[in-house]
């Protein structure tokens, strides 16, 4: 990324450069660029230009984080000031726009019209997912299917596109593309389910985010949806009252957490994530007789999703 930034930011405003440096190099797991690289490599690509393509996915990911923090008026991200809190909302929005534009340029330049079509389909779906999520805020009747409709758009398609575009860049067969697309969609959904579990169960120092934010914002995620489905009528009414009432009330949050523990909301959501990861790994069977090292890395990466704490 630094090499690409040095090339394309020469002569740009110093504040833009500073904001981008702050946003891009403040931590993060770099899972998306790694997926793009591994997907291309397992399809036989040995072109070093894959690293520039991989940077495009980190640019987009960081752009979405910056814009999410603007929408949420978030003060922190990854244990430090959010970009908007440090540099102001205008600078944050513009930096996010720059990153999105650069990511589209790199995808179009390196993966061609076909890759750009996959990429744009994923990014437009991501926006649609955000609107769907807004529609379901503080709605105790949200179903598991509606939840998955949201996360498939918000997370699943983006991870899926990362893997598929890596395959397109490598000149993969249709079967290889389909396998990597499915792998990405499954582990992307699992990533989001684990993220939603960490919102309740995570260590604040490890995640860099305050626990309970989803409940406070009225986002019904899988642990709570499963709990509502399993609860008695009386307890379901209690949970609904907490969701529809003052969600900043610590007692309401404590009640929700207790109910999720009682009705195995956490455990059943985790089981769902495990099933999604298993499905993602299963999709890679087409590659089992090929490069064992890359196959093993993709498998390990999928399993890592289940063990992460941030």
Dist. CA 228–CA 9, nearest whole Å: 50
What confidence tier does 257 reach under pLDDT thresholds 50, 70, 90? very high
What is the mean pLDDT of the segment spanning 150-160? 95
**The pLDDT value given to residue 205:** 67
Q: Which residues contact 139 (CB under 8 A, 6 or more apart)?
A: 220
Looking at the predicted structure, is the pLDDT value of residue 261 above 90?
yes
Least confident of 18-32, 57-71, 120-134, 204-218: 204-218
What is the mean pLDDT of the segment spanning 42-68? 96
- Cα Rg, the chain, nearest whole Å: 20
Dist. CA 310–CA 303, nearest whole Å: 15
**The pLDDT value given to residue 207:** 60
Q: What is the pLDDT of residues 166-207, one digit of tens each?
A: 999 999 999 999 999 999 999 999 999 999 999 999 877 666
pTM for the structure as a whole: 0.93
Looking at the predicted structure, is the pLDDT value of residue 209 above 80?
no
Dist. CA 48–CA 292, nearest whole Å: 20
Q: What is the dihedral of CA 32, 33, 35, 39, to 10 degrees?
A: 140
What is the mean pLDDT of the segment spanning 272-282? 98
Looking at the predicted structure, is the pLDDT value of residue 208 above 70?
no
Q: What is the pLDDT of residues 14-35, one digit of tens each?
A: 999 999 999 999 888 899 999 9
What confidence tier does 135 reach under pLDDT thresholds 50, 70, 90? very high
**The pLDDT value given to residue 79:** 83
**The pLDDT value given to residue 28:** 82
Looking at the predicted structure, is the pLDDT value of residue 100 above 90?
yes
Strand pairing partners for 77?
80
Give percent of the chain with pLDDT exceeding 70: 98
Looking at the predicted structure, is the pLDDT value of residue 12 above 90?
yes
2-307: CATH topology: Farnesyl Diphosphate Synthase (1.10.600)
Do 55 and 1 form a contact (C-beta atoms < 8 A)?
A: yes
- Residue 98: Cβ within 10 Å count: 20
Q: What is the largest CA-CA distance in the chain?
A: 64
**The pLDDT value given to residue 290:** 80
């Amino acid at each position: 990324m630094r090499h690409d930034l040095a090339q394309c930011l020469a002569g740009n405003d110093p504040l833009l450069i500073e904001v981008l440096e702050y946003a891009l190099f403040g931590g993060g797991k770099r899972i998306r660029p790694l997926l793009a690289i591994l997907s291309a490599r397992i399809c036989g690509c040995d072109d070093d230009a894959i690293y520039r393509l991989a940077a495009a996915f980190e640019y987009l990911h960081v752009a979405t984080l910056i814009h999410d923090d603007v929408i949420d008026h978030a003060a922190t991200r990854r244990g430090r000031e959010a970009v908007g809190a440090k540099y102001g909302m205008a600078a944050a929005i513009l930096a996010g726009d720059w990153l999105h534009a650069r990511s589209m340029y790199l995808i179009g330049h390196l993966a061609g019209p076909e890759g750009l079509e996959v990429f744009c389909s994923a990014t437009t779906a991501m926006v649609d997912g955000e609107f769907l999520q807004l529609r379901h805020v503080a709605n105790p009747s949200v179903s598991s299917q509606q939840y998955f409709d949201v996360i498939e758009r918000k997370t699943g398609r983006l991870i899926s596109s990362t893997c598929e575009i890596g395959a397109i860049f490598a000149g993969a067969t249709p079967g290889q593309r389909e396998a990597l697309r499915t792998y990405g969609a499954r582990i992307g959904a699992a990533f989001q389910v684990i993220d939603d579990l960490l919102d309740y169960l995570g260590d604040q120092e490890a995640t860099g985010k305050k626990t309970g934010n989803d409940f406070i914002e009225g986002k019904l995620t899988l642990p709570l949806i499963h709990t509502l489905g399993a609860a008695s009528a009386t307890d379901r009414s209690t949970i609904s009252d907490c969701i529809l009432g003052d969600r900043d009330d610590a007692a309401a949050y404590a009640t929700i957490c207790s109910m999720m523990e009682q009705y195995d909301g956490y455990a059943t959501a985790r089981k769902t994530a495990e099933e999604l990861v298993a499905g993602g790994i299963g999709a890679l069977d087409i590659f089992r007789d090929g490069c064992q090292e890359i196959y093993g890395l993709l498998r390990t990466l999928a399993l890592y999703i289940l063990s992460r704490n941030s």
